[in-house]
């Protein structure tokens, strides 16, 4: 695979230290609507065709520690086959694979890191699922 050509950014996931406070900010201040909650530690907001995902940081219960960072960002690709092709390409070119390729309920994913350790998800969503 010579060139990776995503068809869009599917989501950005950020870590937050206090889920209730962050939900209030994104819902009440910015006016985003909750698309779904996944347990007590993950909230997904739909913004047009993209998503902003809040994940409670591991340091959330420690009042002294703070964890402010983007957890990962995800790119949409056109097919599950491209996810697998990218996994093979990454292995051949010593790109760090964190997880996958694998299936989840509505698609296929691969998590990799860039040279600075930023996590990137490559994802094909099966809209028929």
Instruction: Kindly state whether residues 94 and 48 are assigned to the same domain.
Output: no
CATH value at residue 21: 3.10.180.10
Domain ranges, residue 129: 77-129
Instruction: Kindly state whether residues 123 and 97 are assigned to the same domain.
Output: yes
Residue-level pLDDT at 29: 76
What are 15's two structure tokens? 């870590």
Residue-level pLDDT at 103: 96
Within a domain: 102: yes
Neighbours of 77 (CB within 10 A): 25
Within a domain: 18: yes
Instruction: Kindly state whether residues 128 and 87 are assigned to the same domain.
Output: yes
Residue-level pLDDT at 5: 84
Q: What is the 3-state secondary structure (H, E, C) of the chain?
A: CCCCCCCEEEEEEEEECCHHHHHHHHHHHCCCCEEEECCCCEEEEEECCEEEEEEECCCCCCCCCCCCEEEEEEEECCCHHHHHHHHHHHHHCCCCEEEEEEEECCEEEEEEECCCCCEEEEEEECCCC
Instruction: Kindly state whether residues 83 and 129 are assigned to the same domain.
Output: yes
Within a domain: 53: yes
Interior/surface letters 26-64, b for 16+ CB within 10 angstroms, e for the rest? beeeeebeeeeeeeeeebbbeeeeebbbbbbbeebeeee
pLDDT digits (tens, 9 = 90+) for 40-92: 999 999 888 888 999 988 755 555 656 667 778 888 899 999 999 999 989 99
Residue 13 pLDDT greater than 70, yes or no: yes
Within a domain: 68: no
Give residue 115's pLDDT band: very low, low, confident or very high (50, 70, 90).
confident
In the chain, how many domains are there? 2
Instruction: Kindly state whether residues 83 and 123 are assigned to the same domain.
Output: yes
Instruction: Kindly state whether residues 82 and 126 are assigned to the same domain.
Output: yes
């Amino acid at each position: 695979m010579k060139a990776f050509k995503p068809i869009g950014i599917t989501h950005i996931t950020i870590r937050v230290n206090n889920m209730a406070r962050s939900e209030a900010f994104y819902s009440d201040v910015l006016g985003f609507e909750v698309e779904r909650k996944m347990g007590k530690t993950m909230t997904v907001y739909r913004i047009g065709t993209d998503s902003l995902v809040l994940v409670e940081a591991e340091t959330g219960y420690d009042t002294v520690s703070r964890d402010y960072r983007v957890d990962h960002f995800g790119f949409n690709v056109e097919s599950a086959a491209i996810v697998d092709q990218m996994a093979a390409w990454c292995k051949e070119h010593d790109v760090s694979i964190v997880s996958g390729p694998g299936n989840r309920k509505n698609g296929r994913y691969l998590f990799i890191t860039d040279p600075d350790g930023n996590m990137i998800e490559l994802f094909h969503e099966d809209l028929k699922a």
